[in-house]
Amino acid sequence: MTNKLLTTFTKLATVTAATFLLGGCVIVDSDNSSSRMNQKKNIAAAADAPKNIIMVVADGMGPAYVTAYRNYMDDPNTVEVETTILDQILVGTSRTYPHQQSGFVTDSAASATAMSTGVKTYNGAIGVDINKQALETVLHRARKLGLKTGLAVTSHIVHATPASYMVANEARGNYSEIADSFYDDRINGEHLADIMLGAGWGHFLREDRNIVELFKADGYQYLDKYDQLSTIDPATPVLGLFGDASLPWALDDSDPLRLHTLTKAVVPYLAADTEDSGYFLLLEASQVDWAGHANDIASAMAEMHDLANTMEYLYDYVKNHPDTLVVLTADHSTGGLTIGAGGDYRWEPSFIKSFNKSISSMAKEIHDQANQGQYVSDSFGFELNAAEIESLSVINKDMDVRAVEAVLKSIVDKRTNTGWTTSGHTGIDVDVFAFGPGAEIFAGNQNNTDLAKKIFMLLDKAH
């Protein structure tokens, strides 16, 4: 580890320790305390300003997912539960509530807008305030300052989180309009991003407007297969769409670490020829959220594993590029995941370590299987018992896919003793992780809007 990076971590430890010494007082946030605002400004003034900023959003990843992943990765042959990369980089927490007109529980759009603009807004808003007026985002500011910009996500690139960093729209579901804005909007006469990777064929390859062809006409290299990532020319802007509405689940993808793969392609691309400028990159582990909505613990852990591998890559990258700040957080928590259920004090993630396909895929394929019990056993990676095989007898060709999924997930939840409180979002605080120059200002409890405000300050200070 370089001396500069060690210095950053020393500062971070000092700030974190100060938080605890103050008996839980918030020292880096406040929307309504001038003294705390002054403290925050003083900390920001003292912070090293990074040349490059990588913002990572793990959609739906409440604290229970971080704990579950630690247990999931535990070596059962040792007494202690080993830590993960996420434990090593934890610095604080974030409050996720939206503007008061939407209550206490946010959706992805309102939270992403708060994290990208520093302004609370209504659920469903993409880069606009409660009056539906467009807001400047940290990606916009980076572009105005001459930085290279990019994004890589496992959803379609016009989904709530990436859209809220890129454009402005009054409703997150206006995907065609948002895709149009990805092309039509300009900053300093340039497109919003140098590189965009994810999914979105259905929104960019439309009968009414072929946005892919428009980008190609403007000099963008277009990719639609993972193996084309090795052909990227750093001197050429890039649009890569590798799926329709999203990338496949990690459990179903030809590359189960696809965010990791996209990140390893996009970071060197943005770092090329940026000695004087720097870059801003948005990454999203989009499908942690979708696994939470589905109450699918196996898919959730597979998505978390992709994220963890991505963070390990970035951690090593910062060791060798100590001018880069990485911030990771969630927009909210999804599903009300509980590690243990029904008063039974156990959780057994070993049963989900050998899954070889998602429950979603199994539910679509099971009707065609001559021996459904053996098919599920082979897909789960453990042998079903007699009661579990009997539970499959309710499945028939007239059953809705979601109902089939529920049967399969019930088996997994009982085996692992996993609990869920909802299929929606919850309003709890989420974790904040950071490393690199400026990481110390993200310590402690803060509002999600403060993440944007601090990034704005760091961008302006460095550029």
Q: Which residues are catalytic?
A: 108
Burial classification of residue 10, based on how many CB atoms lie within 10 Å of its CB (0-12 exposed, 13-18 middle, 19 or more buried): exposed
Rounded to a whole number, what is the distance in angstroms from the first to the last CA of the chain?
A: 26
Rounded CA separation 197/153 (Å): 6
Rounded CA separation 57/47 (Å): 22
Tokens at 137, concatenated:
């985002």
Helix, strand or coil for residue 305?
Answer: helix
Phi, psi of 381 (to 5 degrees): 85, 15
User: Which residues lie below 8 Å from residue 327, measured CB to CB, with a gap of 6+?
Assistant: 53, 54, 55, 56, 432, 433, 434, 439, 442, 451, 455
How many other C-beta atoms can be found within 10 angstroms of the C-beta atom of residue 333? 26
Rounded CA separation 210/196 (Å): 16
CA distances to 33, 78, 96, 428, 454 from 27, in Å: 10, 38, 18, 20, 14
- Write down the number of H helices and E strands in the chain: 18, 14
How many other C-beta atoms can be found within 10 angstroms of the C-beta atom of residue 8? 25
CA dihedral (74, 76, 77, 81) positive or negative: positive
Tokens at 304, concatenated:
């978390």
Contact between 438 and 45 under an 8 Å Cβ cutoff? The reply is no
CA-based nearest residue to 362, from 349, 384, 383, 377 = 377
